Every structure is written in C-alpha cells, then in structure tokens.
Amino acid sequence: MEEKELERLLKGIRGDPKVKKAIERLDAGYGTYKDVNTIALQTGKRIADEMAIAYDEAALVRYLEAGHGIIAMSAEAAQTNLNAAAKIGIKPMTTKTPSYKIAQTVAKISAVEPEVIPTMCENILPSFMLEMVDDITKYNADFQKDSGLHPIIRRTWSGMYGSHDTRHTDNCEQMAGEWEYGDEPPETYYRHEGCRCTVEYFPNKYAEGQITALAKYEVARNGELGAKEETLERRLADAQRRKKLDRKLGL
C-alpha cells in the first residue's frame, strides 16, 4: 500500500510537463539549479495536492523523504553539469534526508484545524522543498569555497503569484541579487511561509555562460537533446520500478 502510494506520487511528478523538461535539460548536460528548483516546486505542489485529497501524517513524512531523494538526485545532476562547464574536478555533494526538519514541518501541519490543512500544505510544502535545494546549494558552495574557488550565489524574486501574501513581496524583491558566495547577506536564505523565490549557484562567474554555450552547441549538433548512459530520467524510473522507494529515495 505504502509503496503503491509512493509509486503513484513519483509517476505524477515525473509526468509533470515542467518536471519533464527540467529532467531533459539536466540529462542533456546543461540543466542547472534553476531546473532543480522547478522540480522541487512541482514536487511540493504535487505532495500538497495528495494531502488535500486525504491528509495522512505518516504518508506525508514518506512523501517528503521521497521528495528529498528526487531533489538530491536532480541536484547531483545539476552540480555535475556545472562542475563540468566550469572544468572543476570536484564531486557533487548532497545532503542526508533532513528527518528533523521533516518531522517539524509535519508536526506544524498536523497541529492546525483539519479544514485549514489543505491551504497550509499548499502554502508551505513548495517552499519547504525549495529549502531542501538551498541546503544542497549551500553545502556545495561551502565545499568549493573551502577549496579556494569563487562560487556565485543568485537569489531571484518569484514575483507575485496566487495566494502570495503582499506583505512579503517588498522584502523578497529587495532580497534578490547576485554575490560571490560568502558576501551575500544572511537573509539570502530566508524564506517566509509560502515563499517561492529561488536561490541558484554557479561554481564561478563564467559557468553560466559556458553552460549556455554548451546547450546551444548540443542542440545545433544533435538537433535534439544529448544522450548519456546514466541519466536522471533512468535513475528516477528505476527507483519507481524497483518499488523500494522509501529506502532508495529516503537515502
């Protein structure tokens, strides 16, 4: 039963058109953290939709753990692409399942009145998934900075959308910017409830240009997206098929 639920969730996420496109870009070698943020956002929305149908605390924990697995695999692909574009021979790093943060978030949701739960999930789960990306971003940036490199951090304002509280938009707009990692203000990683701003990372200030050039080259050469042996698409499909999602994706 549990495995069936997870399988359905993962199938739904992978079938989402925005996620599909992001996975294609990551597999083609030029997807970046922007694509990881897209996957995280759609994953959070999808989990919120499932919870709106039937709220189940234990299932939510499993979904968020699986969500972290998807994000970790996607971030690894993005980081590999970025390191290759910047010609850096450093392995991508990823975070462990943030069990404590997941437990805290689920407890917060479970504490509200049942009729408020769907709105609450819709509000906080997408930003919670984005926060998982931020943590991986910081982890990699930290490591590269310690290795003597000069990573770049960029925070992008998500703009106005749906239920976004207007009280927050001024702050978020002002927090947008680009810095060398370590020079960014501490609030760069701050997220208010429901925030959908994104934080991206590049190994150096030339990496984005290099990866864009690579994308143009690949498209011109193949007329389509490149094919790698070990693709993210395949890894996610395998994880789904093997029906060991909680173990496989919970890492």
- Give the binding site for Zn ion (CB under 5 A): 172, 195, 197
Between CA 88 and CA 249 the distance in angstroms is 27
Please answer whether residues 187 and 234 qualify as being in contact, where contact means their C-beta atoms are separated by less than 8 angstroms: no
Q: Which is nearer to Zn ion, 195 or 245 (CB)?
A: 195
CB of 155 to Zn ion, least distance (A): 9
Q: Which is nearer to Zn ion, 195 or 211 (CB)?
A: 195
Q: Which is nearer to Zn ion, 40 or 207 (CB)?
A: 40
CB of 41 to Zn ion, least distance (A): 12
Please answer whether residues 153 and 181 qualify as being in contact, where contact means their C-beta atoms are separated by less than 8 angstroms: yes
CB of 168 to Zn ion, least distance (A): 6
CB within 8 A of 245, min separation 6: which ones?
3, 6, 7, 10, 66, 69, 239
- For the chain, the straight-line distance linking the first and the last C-alpha, in angstroms and rounded, comes to 20
Q: Which is nearer to Zn ion, 80 or 119 (CB)?
A: 119
Q: Which is nearer to Zn ion, 62 or 154 (CB)?
A: 154
CB of 128 to Zn ion, least distance (A): 13
CB of 194 to Zn ion, least distance (A): 8
CB of 32 to Zn ion, least distance (A): 20
Q: Which is nearer to Zn ion, 179 or 189 (CB)?
A: 189
* Residue type for position 212: T
Cross-strand bridge partners of residue 155: 177, 199
Please answer whether residues 192 and 171 qualify as being in contact, where contact means their C-beta atoms are separated by less than 8 angstroms: yes
CB of 95 to Zn ion, least distance (A): 22
3-state secondary structure of 89: coil
Between CA 174 and CA 204 the distance in angstroms is 23
How is residue 170 written in tokens? 């001024």
Question: At CA 117, angle to CA 116 and CA 120, rounded to 5?
Answer: 90
Q: Which is nearer to Zn ion, 60 or 172 (CB)?
A: 172
Least Cα distance to 231 among 47, 18, 86, 28 occurs for 28
